[in-house]
Chain A
Amino acid sequence: MNRQLAASVAGGLAAPMCTLRQRVKAWARACWWGSASSSRDGVRRPAAALHARRNLLILAALAMILATPAAAHAYVGPGAGFAFLSSFLTLFLAFVYSCFAFVTWPVRRIIRWVRGYKAYRRAKVKRVVIIGFDGMDPDLAVRFMEEGKLPNLARLRDSGTFHRLATTCPPISPVAWSSFMTGVNPGKHNIYDFLSREPGSYLPSLSSAQVRGSKRKLKVGKYAIPLGRPRVRLLRKGIPFWHFLARSGIFCSVIRVPITFPPEKFNGVLLSGMCVPDLQGSQGTFSFYSTAGSGTQPVEGGVRIPLLAADGWLRSYIPGPDNPLVRRKREQLRIEFRLRPDGARDGAEVELNGRRLFLRRGEYSDWIELKFKAGLQVTIQGICRFYLKTLAPYVELYASPVNIDPGRPALPISHPLIYSVYLSKLLGPYATLGLAEDTWALNEGALDDEAFLKQCYLIQDERERMFFDALEKTRRGLCVCVFDITDRIQHMFWRYLDPWHSPSCSAQGGSRYAGVIEELYERMDELVGRILERAPDAVLMVVSDHGFKSFTRGVNINSWLWQNGYLALKEGARPGDPWFAGVDWQRTRAYALGLNGLYVNQSGREPQGIVSPGKETQQLKQELAEKLRGLVDPATGRAPITQVFDRDRAFRGPYRENGPDLILGYAEGYRAGWDSVTGRVTETTFEQNSKAWSGDHCVDPRLVPGVLFSNRKLTCESPAIVDVAPTVLEWFGVPLPAYLDGKPWGLNGGACQ
């Protein structure tokens, strides 16, 4: 039948001398034959046949257009005008670009040769692929491999390499990944925690990057128009090893390695990872909407906003960034939206930014483009996802933090800048926030376990697509990608794995979620399998920055310092205020900030320091270390701190002074309490961790090594994460900078240095 159709149309088109009427007849006959056949046989036409018919119709239409005598008659309105014009321009542009790329390729090669780039000349490898599974635990990996659940990782272990990989002190992701990329200890890269002390105050600030508005502004009426881009400064020091590779002409693709925001320039492509802020400038502020509440309330990591009924709709808003154009008072930009529950369809209709969309209960929406209008035709673009949690008795809606739109980034999140745009055009919008998996939303009950898992895997799918695109583009060179999902799910689901965890946390759905971490490892193993399949020639390394342990008991070090006379509160001040609000610094000798850090209130360094540097500080550190090592949890009878590390011994390098004076190494099951991290002094030193965040790694680094797998036999004794950078440089034949702390591993039985 299709052959007959084709013949009739082709006949009509092929005869150049036939009249237009004949051609139209041929087309009409083809159409008629098509419809007649479907009605005659009464059978649903298969998709292929329908496509064939559609294609024939298109061909016929094209023929009609081409056969029309006057040029004017070929113009079928502005729609077609745009379509053909843009297509032609696209092809023309692409042609020019590709010609340019081909013609200049030898020239570029010559320039590189003249400049002394000796890419691959001394390389032992052609392509290195490094997969980072943030927080993959060696004990769990071994257990699951022995149970036969991780066949691909087991294959790597058996035919290549498997080791425990020593982490950094402290074993926190930003610290460990900074050492991974720079090959140095924290004293040389300046990252000791997520937070660092703001010089001149006792307030914390983000340790890795500083974002400030434009320096110069044009003040016009109520507006202050920025005359330049926001100033984004990377606070991490040290040079990532891919910069050395790039200088030698080796192409590198770096995807979502933590502490790469803002992206640095080098000859390769990079998408920033952990510590990329959201549009509000925070590390992730979700919005939770409910008809139950009446006022807007900030919660940990987010904000609760009421849904107010009006005209049969529920109205609310999405909070955005502060208006960068407003001169005097702080004004937060918002996008209003309205929502109408539809019980019959088990969802709700949402109107936002002039668009309508339908949300199904229990499902995430696609990424929604948000345009915050600042005035003067300035818009700031972001993206978010909705999750309709419940419809009854209350309507509850979750909105993810507003991510920087990768297609129109408000801040640079990639190098080159167009790389994030390219990925967005290729794969669609994707999560750009550093900590995109919303652990706080689960902690605060804005998301349930199921919703959190769905979110994690949606993000993971995006990242896998990005990674495989980068792998395809990196036929020679280095391809690095860090997947965060392993860290986030273990943080939030460890309670189902650990029988000793708080029963209140694991009461609901324990059996249902008991296998979540196991499934996670299986998914990662399957990913490794796909990588091996797609890049059989590459040297593959699978690394993690640390392992995991249970977090059942929190230790509030500031409370302990207060109770033991090292920290004092102002007269009349009540315990419980965050960020040291009630602390009397004139009588305080030490304070804790961040996950593992303890600082001496040293004169000349701290704004109101009272402890002299040198001997007095050293004595105080020694005293604190001894007392903390002897601390006992009365509820369990166990010592919560196994080791206290002195900064002067733990770190070497020019930035050692910026680190905490003491690093606390917690025992398994313990970690800094939630209040302690935010500088809150409470009545009790110990607390039961009742949050969903139930696994952690901010403990004694010796307890939480990471993993090292490879498809090659690597010669390495006591490998550490700091060794990765010199190893890769050595394999590519790039000279190692003298300041590196790590030691390269031997490849295929070669000796390690």
Chain B
Amino acid sequence: MDALRALIDRTFDLFFRPFRDIHPAYGLSAASFVTGVMAMLVFRYASNQPAMRRAKSRIQAHILELRLFPDQPGVVMCAYGRILRFTGAYLVHALRPLLILLLPVAIIMGQLDLRFSHLPLRPGELFIVKAELADPLAVDSSSLAVPRGLTLTAPPVHIPALQEVDWRLRADGYGEFLPAVIAAGHAFPKRVVVSNGLVRLAVRRVQAHLWERLLDPGEEPMPAGSAVRAIEVGYRPRIIDLGRFQTGWLGFFLVASLVSGWMVKVMLRIEL
């Protein structure tokens, strides 16, 4: 699993390398386009296109029926029932490609989330490292090992009710750093990135479960049953600035992938 995760990370690193030092919209657009094309091709070859076409035609026919025979309540009721039936059939036909797409799109979105959801730290920027501990008694005894390049700017804040300890740090220069939370005699490092480019950022490091590994793929998980449940770095959220319009990466991705998908759909006459 870790090897697969590393391979996926490297593949995406390679894909985003040309976009590292330019406006994030470019990289996001490229990823959206690839996702759109891939999704359309999957729909083209994995779905029953004639059946989808038939179901769509029938839905359209029964919508027209509502317009043609509005004075006949029986016909209207029947038409509505048939619209429901054929919409169901249409969705059933769409489910096979949807199932095929489920995993790859989840991986793509996980990778996009790593790169576009937050901004890396800048030199001189203050940030918080938050540790969630498994044992409430370990809250007071835990500490943070700070590497060179980062400076602790305030004493830790202990919140026993939440089993949480927070540290405020400052980034002194560019680079990747590994501050480590010390708890129950073990060190749990967390990667911190100080950069001005498009880089992979794992906000949280969590304990190992299959699903978490897929959905939070940025950093190797901590062993299950560790004294620390999760470590979180307080990166600032990234806003994609499009001149007058600003949006999060997800909105941009949804629109861009739908547009590119629609273009491919029209060009390749894919029924959807």
Contact = CB atoms under 8 A, between A and B. Distances in A.
B267 to A, nearest CB: 10
Interface in B214-263: 215, 250, 254, 257-258, 260-262
Contacts of B269: 354
Contacts of A64: 102
Interface string A69-86: 000110111111111101
A422 to B, nearest CB: 4
A210 interface: no
Interface in A34-88: 57-58, 61-62, 64-65, 72-73, 75-84, 86-87
Nearest to A70: B215
A83 B90 contact: yes
B65 A77 contact: no
Interface string B20-49: 000000000000000110111011000000
A160 to B, nearest CB: 28
A98 B109 contact: no
A623 B222 CA distance: 114
Contact of A80 (B62, B75, B77, B94): B94
A321 B29 CA distance: 43
Nearest to B37: A78
B55 to A, nearest CB: 10
Contacts of B272: 79, 82-83, 86
A426 B73 CA distance: 19
B98 A426 contact: no
Contacts of B76: 98, 101-102
Contacts of A73: 106, 109, 215
B143 to A, nearest CB: 32
A348 B83 CA distance: 39
Nearest to B59: A90
Interface stretch (A222-230, A413-421, A549-557, A588-596): A413-421
Contact of B43 (A21, A79, A105): A79
A368 interface: no
Contacts of B92: 58
B68 A65 contact: no
Nearest to B40: A79
A104 B70 contact: yes
A269 B113 CA distance: 55
B58 interface: yes
B98 A76 contact: yes
B80 interface: yes
Contacts of B65: 422, 426, 473
A265 interface: no
Chief secondary structure at chain B's binding surface: helix
Interface residues of B, number: 61
B101 A101 contact: no
B83 to A, nearest CB: 4
A93 interface: yes
A231 interface: no
A422 B57 CA distance: 9
Nearest to A105: B73
Contacts of A105: 70-71, 73
Contacts of B101: 76-77, 79-80
Given A77-B39, A78-B260, A87-B90, A94 B62 contact: yes
A58 B80 contact: no
B127 to A, nearest CB: 24
Interface residues of A, number: 50
A20 interface: yes
Contacts of B77: 98
Contacts of B98: 61, 76, 79-80, 83
A519 B83 CA distance: 39
A82 B101 CA distance: 14
Contacts of B69: 473
Contact of A78 (B71, B91, B257): B257
B42 to A, nearest CB: 7
Nearest to A60: B99
Contacts of A416: 68
A392 interface: no
B263 to A, nearest CB: 10
Nearest to A87: B87
Given A75-B109, A79-B97, A97 B66 contact: yes
A422 B68 contact: yes
A192 interface: no
A108 interface: yes
Nearest to A81: B258
B258 A93 contact: no
A91 interface: yes
A645 interface: no
Interface of A: 20-21, 57-58, 61-62, 64-65, 72-73, 75-84, 86-87, 90-91, 93-95, 97-98, 100-102, 104-105, 108, 251, 269, 354, 416, 418-419, 421-426, 428, 473, 475
Interface of B: 35-36, 38-40, 42-43, 57-77, 79-80, 83-84, 87, 90-92, 94-95, 97-99, 101-102, 105-106, 109, 113, 209-211, 215, 250, 254, 257-258, 260-262, 265, 269, 272
13 contacts: A21-B211, A58-B92, A72-B109, A76-B106, A77-B38, A78-B39, A80-B98, A87-B87, A91-B87, A105-B71, A108-B71, A418-B67, A422-B64
The 10 closest A-B pairs by CB, nearest first: A78-B261, A77-B39, A425-B61, A426-B61, A83-B94, A422-B64, A79-B43, A101-B70, A79-B39, A97-B66
